[in-house]
Structure 1
Amino acid sequence: MEKFSKVKAAVAAIEADVEKFYNAGNAAAGTRVRKAMQDLKVLAQEIRAEVTEKKNSGK
């Protein structure tokens, strides 16, 4: 659950940069969005591994 909370916090934190990139055309904000999306990808993969491990350990 802790990692899922980190995912939600990361999405909330990047919201301003997403607005700046898509609505104002701020290229630097786009770079920050791309980095944050990569960090989210890593977190999501960690969550997937945890879920798989927990699911398989119950058998």
Structure 2
Amino acid sequence: MKRYEQLLDLVQSLEGDFEKFYDKSNQAAGTRVRKGMQELKNLAQEIRVEVQDIKNKA
């Protein structure tokens, strides 16, 4: 469940920047959103590989 918590923490940490970008058109917040989404993509890939490895061992 640690990985799930990491995923939730990352998504929640981006909430403020999403609001600033979409509601207030803050361009710097948009850059942070893009960076955070890239981190989310990388974390998701790590989790996918980890799940596949565990599945293959079973």
Range into which the TM-score falls when normalised by the shorter chain: over 0.9
Question: Could you say which residue in structure 2 is the equivalent of 1:51?
Answer: 51
Q: CA deviation at 1:3?
A: 1.9
TM-score after normalising by structure 1: 0.93
Q: CA deviation at 1:4?
A: 1.7
Unmatched segments (≥5 aa) in structure 2: none
Give the % identical residues: 53
TM-score after normalising by structure 2: 0.95
Unmatched segments (≥5 aa) in structure 1: none
| Count of paired positions | 58
Q: 2: CA distance between counterparts of 1:33 and 1:3?
A: 21
Instruction: Please say if residues 4 and 47 of structure 1, whose CA atoms lie closer than 8 Å, have aligned partners that are also in contact.
Output: no
Matched, 1:4 2:4: yes
Q: Would you identify which runs of 4 or more consecutive aligned residues in structure 1 move more than 2 Å?
A: none
CA RMSD of aligned residues (A): 0.7
